[in-house]
Amino acid sequence: MAVLDLDEIDKKLINILQENADLTYAELGRMLGISSSTVYMRVKRLKERGIIKRIVAEVSPETLGYNLRSLVFLAVDIKKYNDIVQALLKIPQIKVIYDITGEWTFALEILVRDHKELSELLDKIGTIEGVQHTSTAVVLRVIKEDRKVTPP
């Protein structure tokens, strides 16, 4: 079944789960007018198809002391691309790695507790063999952050 083969119940289910994944199958069933076992089977099928990657809790970083978010852009020696990716994947403060077009090779979203940790992390990234130069932008405030995707 192609993504466009989603019926209206699947679309509603996806939207509801993106808003509140804490609902039980019984609650979802009542909202959708179907049985909880049907909800379970639909969620299972959506996971198997890769439409729902996983259902997780969204945590507020600031409440856990992660008060500084930054975007770090990297220009790299393309011959070292795979080694650099492997090194970046091992750094827990890096939350997102984008392979991008243009002047930079990568855009990273990082989350740290303070400026000292940011400075140490930038030093660490800068010492990865093949990283040629970086540029960092500290996020002052998040105006919009919406990871929800509406099915077509």
DSSP state at residue 98: E
Q: What is the pLDDT along the chain (152 residues), one digit of tens a residue?
A: 455 689 999 999 999 999 999 999 999 999 999 999 999 999 999 999 999 999 988 889 999 999 999 999 999 999 999 999 999 999 999 999 999 999 999 999 999 999 999 999 999 999 999 999 999 999 999 999 988 898 88
List, in order of start, the domains of the chain with CATH numbers: 3-48 (1.10.10.10), 61-138 (3.30.70.920)
Q: Which residues contact 6 (CB under 8 A, 6 or more apart)?
A: 14, 51, 151, 152
pTM (two decimals): 0.83
Q: What is the DSSP string of 24-87?
A: -HHHHHHHHTS-HHHHHHHHHHHHHTTSS----PPP-GGGGT--EEEEEEEEE-GGGHHHHHHH
